[in-house]
Structure 1
Amino acid sequence: MGDENVAGLVKELTDQLASIAHSFGTRADTLLSAPSSRPEAAGIAIHPVQMARSLLAQRAARLEHFPADLFHEPAWDMLLALYIAHEEDRIMNVKSLVSSAHSPVTTSQRWIDHLFKLGLVDRVVDPIDRRRIEVSLSQNGYRALETYLATLGARRV
């Protein structure tokens, strides 16, 4: 394939992406201008767990329309899943956490290790099945997510 063909393909893809971005922007502006979609107009903040669920749902919806590797953030997906699990008083093991990340097992496990080193998650060996490792948000991780999600919920437009 010649340089001209590659340049033409890149320009065509760029034009298509710009068109899609414009379309999404227009739709978002329309939705956000409707009074019923603006909780802050009624003085209602979105609860942090609702915000986490909404963010995860939005991220999952993107996978239906775009290639998965375009928005590859397994650590963020896992942190949101762990926050929701904490709020629902559920325990997540490595296997269930990896499945929430929409990425290869080895990549997810590396991110779990990194999140642990950053002090955002805790890992505990399951007392019943020692082959399983339970993962949860650390106190620091929970506070960071709670504060971030509350801030988003209060600013939600």
Structure 2
Amino acid sequence: MAGESIAGLVKDLTAQLSAIASEFGARADRLAYGDTGDETHDRPNRDEAAAAPDARELAKQLLAQRMARFDHFPAELFHEPAWDMLLALFVAHEERRTLNVKALVGTAHTPVTTSQRWIDHLHKLKLVDRVIDPHDRRRMEVSLSDTGQTAVRAYLRRLGAA
């Protein structure tokens, strides 16, 4: 009997959370596209939005595709560590994770010094932010800046992500 009441509570809670998520989604749409009542707005319809891949998933797919190239071709053909790092940082941001320099360097498939130079360059271009890890001052955390986040998201949108 207790199991049934818990199951009922979970069902009710799930329905309530779904309604809340739907409302927040509608509000986000209104904020993103402006709620002018003008039907000529360039707003995707619900079916188009549902069919478009999530930006985070698209970024993860791009990273996986880039990794797959190494199974078939020499690594020397593919030197774009900055792009690999930007995609990894975007995914980390979307998953609410942080990456330190060591973890980020691992995504670039280049020597540490080369990756660090690219991190410096991305920072100069204001695409990434660097902060000292508050728990271990020897480590540096790297994240996409607002500019970097906007640029990567716009690119993924152009590829068809929501």
Q: TM-score, normalised by structure 1?
A: 0.70
**Matched pairs, number:** 116
Q: CA RMSD in A?
A: 2.0
Runs of 4+ residues over 4 Å off in structure 1 = 40-43
1:102 to 79, 103, 109: 109
Pairing 1:57–2:57 present: no
Pairing 1:93–2:100 present: yes
Residue in 2 that maps onto 1:127: 134
Residue in 1 that maps onto 2:151: 144
User: What SS class does the counterpart of residue 111 from structure 1 fall into?
Assistant: helix
The one-letter amino acid of 2:122's match is L
Greater relative contact order structure (CA < 8 Å, 6+ sep): 1
1:70–1:128 CA distance, 2 compared to 1 (3 A):
same
User: How much does 1:41 deviate?
Assistant: 9.3
The one-letter amino acid of 1:106's match is T
Moved more, 47-56 or 107-116: 47-56
Residue in 1 that maps onto 2:14: none
The one-letter amino acid of 1:76's match is W
Residue in 1 that maps onto 2:52: 45
Q: TM-score, normalised by structure 2?
A: 0.68
Q: Once the two structures are superposed, what CA deviation does each residue of 1:93-115 show, in whole Å capped at 9, x if it has no partner?
A: 00000000011000000000000
**Following the alignment from structure 1 to structure 2, what is the Cα–Cα distance between the partners of residues 41 and 146?**
18
Name structure 1 gaps, 5 residues minimum: 1-39
**Following the alignment from structure 2 to structure 1, what is the Cα–Cα distance between the partners of residues 134 and 48?**
49
User: What SS class does the counterpart of residue 143 from structure 2 fall into?
Assistant: strand
User: How much does 1:86 deviate?
Assistant: 0.2
**Following the alignment from structure 1 to structure 2, what is the Cα–Cα distance between the partners of residues 42 and 127?**
39
Contact 1:46–1:150 (Cα < 8 Å) also in 2? no
Q: Once the two structures are superposed, what CA deviation does each residue of 1:107-138 show, in whole Å capped at 9, x if it has no partner?
A: 00000000000000000001111100000000
Contact 1:94–1:133 (Cα < 8 Å) also in 2? yes
The one-letter amino acid of 1:123's match is R
> Which structure's CA Rg is the greater one?
2
Aligned sequence identity (%): 66
